[in-house]
Amino acid sequence: MTDTVAPADTAALEVDDLHLSYVVRGIPRAVLRGVSFSIAPGEAYGLVGESGCGKSTTAYAAVRYLPGNASIDGGRILVDGEDVIEMPYRRLQEIRSSHASMVYQDPVQAMNPALKIGRQIAECYRILGHAKAEAGDLALESLRRVHIADASSVMDRYPHQLSGGMLQRVVIAMALVGDPRLLILDEPTTGLDATVEAEVLDLVRELRTTTNAAILLIAHNLGVIRTMCDRVGVMYAGKVVEEGDAQRVFDSPEHPYTVGLLNAIPRQGLRKTDRPLFTIPGTLPQIGAELPTCVYVDRCPIADDLCRTEVPPVVSLGEQQWARCHHVEQTEQIDVPTSGIDARELDDEPVVELTGLSKTFRQRGTDIPALVGVDLGIAEGETVGLVGESGSGKSTLAKTLLGIHEPDEGGEITLDGREVRANATDRVTDSIRAMQMVFQNPDSALNRMWSVRRILRRSVTKLTDLRGEAADRRVEEIAVAMRLSPRHLDMRPRQLSGGLKQRVAIARAFAGDPRLVVCDEPTSALDVSVQAAILNLLANLQAEDRTSYLFISHDIGVVRYLADRIAVMYVGRLVELAPTDELFSGPVHPYTEALMSAVPSVDGSVRDRIPLTGEIPSPADPPPGCVFHTRCHRFIPGTCDVIEPPTIQITPRHSMACHLPVEELGRAPS
């Protein structure tokens, strides 16, 4: 292998005025409009931005892996000083095998399902010229390096036999094989649980110190970028609009877009009673849109005529930061909304109450208790946030409550004090009208063959007594209430953006006068600025109608913003239930403590992460005693692994299932 050693000070990656477009139906549509940045050896650089901004395209362009309709219209990409665009394909292969490697968003899809893990890693060493036996040994060694437990048995397993977190470790191990100078991580933890995410990020951090590889990290999660990167570039519409030291950019953003993005995120313990989230007006420009001057001009609150006529200069803000803006000095004046919704006392009498609710699925003859004895009451106008790792039973709880799954014998669901039937189809009209749902994925939740008007009208006629013109009027009313324009009513869902679709789904849930709306990750498929608008909408609707929410989310910041109380689930059990303030100030369940500590913070607060070791136990085979004892850092041998923990009251409204005395409980990082 011919390898020229680049001088030590050569950038690991240098992207210089890169222009790239995709040819769609013969017309080139610009995706990257002059992207420039460079990453020094050993440096970690983050690219953030909403979907469509071109960050992933930039990452793949760096290794020249682009779809057939991509065309590079100008600029240079240098890996270790070598031009990736111009180099012959053979050299590119060498670059990929030993200079620049990649970690992908979805590790399950990234591994070949038909080949054993060991063989897939060993292949990387074979490419570098190692003999077969040697490659096998090295592969095993590389698995140990990424701290995979029982590495030698993992070698012989197939990808589907490993969890997502383990597979991501394997992918990282493969990426490190050639001792690359540049490691590109494309949304490496998206789709992983916060606890697993934290472990993967820890691993990357550790490997940085041992390998000295430069890192290009693509992520939409600003917290991940902040905790991982030295420098950050904020991308918008195919351009880096602001760049600088990660802390400085996040603490004192200068470009209006960065300011908007950061204010749209619920952070620093922000609550709905404090203020609404900041939303960025307008919509992201279409791919290929004409943006002759400032790319952000159409949505910028401080844009003026200058911004519309002249390309903004790169304004340097000290050595560590620059922004592409005419008016950096004005960004501090961007109005952030101040008054939140009014805080109200909640009734003690619950609207909906679950007692001893369990749900056991049967799969190939084995019982899988997905939900075990859940007690929960939700008051009028209250939001109960539901958190927990995937597989903890959050969605099962929601669907059992709504009558989509039939609960086991013995559990009870009451609505305004009256018991409701287990099955949605058996329920009386009033209970059906009382409980509705907003789903995670609006594409799946809206019938794509129906117009928005038909979707809403059907719900109005089923969920209210309105008929004829009155129903038509109601459709238009709720459309206005959701800030949909009348014109949207005649569209099909696929003609709407993700945010608009979710508004239609919310409108449908509110077509009648629901007492309770279950929101199952309603914003997790949306971009930050769209999420902000949806969360504001939900908060306002609740303030007006006193509707109760059961709000499921994996995003602790979002739950904290919206929820009055937070319920924490683990392996089908409710382990803790507390008012939001108390959960972040008082003593908490060890699981809650660990879960909260795993969340990467946008605010830069340093927290001691409590590692959750091992995998989540299977609900089919839960550990004896406390289900959490196998991973608990405050485990009491002889007690926790034998006796099921009692429910203890910390305060009248704060309860948890734990053996520990209150004074030994930890606190969640706030």
Partner 1 sequence: MLRFIGRRAALSLVTLVILILVIFLLTRVFPSEPARQLAGPFAPQERVDELNETLGLNDPLPVQFGNLLADVLTLSFGESFSQPGVEVLDLVRPALWNSAKLVMFALVLTVPLSILGGVVAARRKDTLVDRAIVNFGLASASIPEFVSAVIFQYVIGVRLGWLPATTLIPDDASIFTELRYLLLPALSIVLVYFGYIARITRAGTITALESDYTRTAYMKGLNTSSVVRRHVLKNSLQPTVAVTGTQIGYLFGGLVGLELVFNYPGLGNLILRAATAPDFPLLQAAVITVAIIFMLSTLAADLLIAWMNPRARLNVGAG
Partner 2 sequence: MTAIDDPGSEATGEERAAETPIPDEVAELDAAVATAAAERKQIRAERRRLLLRTPGFVLGVVIAGFWVICAIVPGLLAPYGANEAVRVDGSVIARQGPSADAWFGTDTIGNDVFSRVIFGARSVLITAPTAAALATIAGTMLGLVMGYYRGWADEILGRIIEALLSIPVILLGIMTLVVFGNSRIVIILTVATLFTPVVTRTVRSAVQAEAQLDYVTSAKLRGESGPFIMLREILPNVTGVIVVEFTVRVGYAIFTIATLAFLGLAADDFTTPDWGNDISNTYNLIQSNNQWWPSIFPALAIASLVIAVNLIADSLDKVRSS
User: Quick check: 651 binds partner 2 (CB under 8 A)?
Assistant: no
> Least distance from C-beta 127 to partner 1, angstroms?
5
Nearest one of 589, 600, 571, 560 to 655, comparing CA atoms: 589
- Name the binder of 670 from partner 1, partner 2, none, CB < 5-8 A by kind: none
E-strand ranges in 61-109 read 70-79, 82-83, 100-103
User: Quick check: 69 binds partner 1 (CB under 8 A)?
Assistant: no
Alpha carbon distance 422, 357 (integer Å):
11
User: Quick check: 230 binds partner 1 (CB under 8 A)?
Assistant: no
With CB under 8 A as the contact rule, the residue among 448, 469, 614, 652 that binds partner 2 is: 448
- Residue 428 is classified by DSSP as -
Q: What is the dihedral of CA 337, 339, 340, 346, to 10 degrees?
A: 180
Alpha carbon distance 244, 253 (integer Å):
9
How many of the chain's residues bind partner 1 (CB under 8 A)?
29
Q: Which is nearer to partner 1, 97 or 531 (CB)?
A: 97
The DSSP H or E segment spanning 240 is strand 239-245
User: Quick check: 96 binds partner 1 (CB under 8 A)?
Assistant: yes
Alpha carbon distance 101, 216 (integer Å):
10
User: Quick check: 26 binds partner 1 (CB under 8 A)?
Assistant: no
User: Quick check: 97 binds partner 1 (CB under 8 A)?
Assistant: yes
Nearest one of 530, 576, 572, 520 to 550, comparing CA atoms: 520
Residues 80-99: x where in contact with partner 2 by CB under 8 A, - otherwise, as a string: -----xx--x----------
Enumerate residues 6+ apart whose C-beta is below 8 A from 111: 117, 120, 159, 167, 170, 171
Residue type at 541? L
> Least distance from C-beta 179 to partner 2, angstroms?
23
Q: Walk across the sheet containing 100-103 and list its strands.
A: 100-103, 182-186, 214-218, 44-48, 231-236, 239-245, 321-324, 314-316
Q: For residues 176 and 101, is the Cβ–Cβ distance under 8 A?
A: yes
- Name the binder of 25 from partner 2, partner 1, none, CB < 5-8 A by kind: none
Alpha carbon distance 425, 46 (integer Å):
50
With CB under 8 A as the contact rule, the residue among 334, 368, 491, 636 that binds partner 2 is: 491
Q: Give the Å distances, CA to CA, from 56 to 185, 218, 341.
A: 10, 7, 38
With CB under 8 A as the contact rule, the residue among 21, 57, 58, 98 that binds partner 1 is: 98
With CB under 8 A as the contact rule, the residue among 10, 19, 42, 60 that binds partner 2 is: 60
Region from 38-46, 131-139, 328-336, 439-447 binding partner 2, contact rule CB under 8 A: 439-447
Region from 270-278, 373-381, 498-506, 560-568 binding partner 2, contact rule CB under 8 A: 498-506
Residue type at 664? E
The Cβ of residue 209 has, within 10 Å, a number of other Cβ atoms equal to 8
With CB under 8 A as the contact rule, the residue among 316, 447, 651, 670 that binds partner 2 is: 447
User: Quick check: 30 binds partner 1 (CB under 8 A)?
Assistant: no
User: Quick check: 234 binds partner 2 (CB under 8 A)?
Assistant: no
Q: Which is nearer to partner 1, 160 or 487 (CB)?
A: 160
Residues 158-217 that bind partner 2 (CB under 8 A): 186
Residues 11-30 that bind partner 2 (CB under 8 A): 22, 24, 29
Residues 101-160 that bind partner 1 (CB under 8 A): 101-102, 104, 106, 109-115, 123-124, 127, 158, 160
Residue that is written with structure tokens 């916060």 in the block: 194
Q: Which is nearer to partner 2, 211 or 497 (CB)?
A: 497
With CB under 8 A as the contact rule, the residue among 94, 243, 521, 527 that binds partner 2 is: 527
Alpha carbon distance 373, 392 (integer Å):
13
Residues 166-185: x where in contact with partner 1 by CB under 8 A, - otherwise, as a string: -----x--x---x-------
- Name the binder of 281 from partner 2, partner 1, none, CB < 5-8 A by kind: partner 2
Enumerate residues 6+ apart whose C-beta is below 8 A from 468: none
User: Quick check: 63 binds partner 1 (CB under 8 A)?
Assistant: yes
> Least distance from C-beta 321 to partner 1, angstroms?
33
User: Quick check: 64 binds partner 2 (CB under 8 A)?
Assistant: yes
User: Quick check: 365 binds partner 1 (CB under 8 A)?
Assistant: no
Q: For residues 600 and 592, is the Cβ–Cβ distance under 8 A?
A: no
Structure tokens at 290: 């004409």
Q: Which is nearer to partner 2, 255 or 503 (CB)?
A: 503
Q: Which is nearer to partner 2, 73 or 615 (CB)?
A: 73
Residue type at 637? P
User: Quick check: 473 binds partner 2 (CB under 8 A)?
Assistant: no
> Least distance from C-beta 52 to partner 1, angstroms?
20
User: Quick check: 213 binds partner 1 (CB under 8 A)?
Assistant: no
> Least distance from C-beta 277 to partner 2, angstroms?
12
User: Quick check: 450 binds partner 1 (CB under 8 A)?
Assistant: no
Structure tokens at 541: 């609707």
Residues in the chain: 670
Alpha carbon distance 255, 239 (integer Å):
13
Residue type at 195? T
Residue type at 207? L
Nearest one of 600, 529, 16 to 256, comparing CA atoms: 529
Binding site for partner 1 (CB under 8 A): 63, 65, 89, 93-98, 101-102, 104, 106, 109-115, 123-124, 127, 158, 160-161, 171, 174, 178
